[in-house]
Structure 1
Amino acid sequence: MNIYLLCTGNTCRSPMAEAILRSKNIENVSVRSAGIHAQDGHPIADNAKTLIEEADMPYTDKSRTLSREDVEWADYILTMTESHKSVLLRLFPENQEKIYTLKGFISPTKNEDVHDPYGGNLETYRETFNELTQLMNELEEKLARK
């Protein structure tokens, strides 16, 4: 199963989510991340990198832009916000059956956005990292039932 995690710039939320999910080593699950407005090759945010390294997780340290190839590769495309989901539905209407917000995929009654720590201090990033850790735990449980 291929999971594609998307945010805006692929420097904060989606790289942290990717690292957390990848560190779970779930059998037959591959994960990638990207940003809708990302530029390839930019370093991820220092605070995101610090938290991922503190947790001793493997990670991708450079941003990637959204690509049609990755959309086609993915079984599920999970966005950090409703607005990211809307952009993807406009760009890839033929893939609408696999596009969800992260929270909406885990629980259809939860459709609020994942907080964006961009520009915040380490504690702001830690709050988002902790939120994403909980969400990845819930995602792991849901995938185990599929």
Structure 2
Amino acid sequence: MTNVLFVCTGNTCRSPMAEALLKHLKSSDQLDVKSAGVFALDGSDATRYAQEALNEKGITCDHQSSSLSEELVNWATIILTMTNQHKQSVIEFYPHAGRKTYTLAEYVAENDEERKDIIDPFGGQLDIYRQTLADLEKLIHKLVNKLEENKA
């Protein structure tokens, strides 16, 4: 079983979109996915525009935010953050997680140009959420391929 944990700041935009995308695209029951935020308040819904952008792709997002915790860190086989700052925060809070923590782009990118942070759409209009979702979708497709290759 591979347990993927996506991490962003408040767990209401990027990481819930990444979680919903991976759940939608995965083909294996041997893959579980959750998300959390380094500064999240437990129990918040995904933002309206995050939900709307996903709905436009036929993906539902039934999400309640979670704060990053020792329990989630221990559950995760791999922790994928939206930015390098999130990665540093995870490692600072949970030093033992350093060996399994990467930015999403770092984990799947094929060249340095692709290894950029995922922009934070929070507070923006629907168009920025659509762009963030498009960026995530490219990376999540690569993630699915990489995880499937590792299982073969």
1:17: which partner in 2?
A: 18
Q: Give the letter for the 1:82 counterpart.
A: N
Letter in 2 for 1:66: L
Verify: 1:143 aligned to 2:147, yes or no.
Answer: yes
Please report how far the alpha carbon of residue 61 of structure 1 lies from its aligned counterpart in structure 2 after TM superposition.
Answer: 2.4
Query: Could you say which residue in structure 2 is the equivalent of 1:121?
Result: 125
Larger displacement relative to structure 2 (45-54 or 59-68): 59-68
Matched residue, 1:34: 36
| TM-score normalised by structure 1 residue count | 0.95
**Equivalent position SS for 1:59:** coil
Q: Share of identical aligned residues, percent?
A: 39
Q: How many pairs are equivalent?
A: 146
1:69: which partner in 2? 71
Match in the other structure for 1:45 = 47
SS at match of 1:11: coil
Give the CA RMSD over aligned residues: 1.3
Structure 1: gaps of 5 or more residues: none
CA distance in 2, matches of 1:143, 1:128: 22
- What letter is aligned with 1:30? D
Quote how far apart the aligned CAs of 1:92 are: 1.1
Q: Secondary structure at the match of 1:60?
A: coil
Contact 1:5–1:79 (8 Å) recurs in 2: yes
Structure 2 partner of 1:78: 80
Q: TM-score, normalised by structure 2?
A: 0.91
In structure 1, which of residues 99, 102, 116 is the aligned counterpart of residue 101 of structure 2?
A: 99
Pairwise CA distance, 1:54? 2.1
Q: Aligned-pair distance for 1:67?
A: 1.2
Deviation of 1:43 (Å): 1.7
Deviation at 1:24, TM superposition (A): 1.3
- Asked if the contact 2:51–2:60 (Cα under 8 Å) also holds between the matched residues in 1, the reply is no
User: Structure 1: how far apart are the matches of 2:130 and 2:54?
Assistant: 10
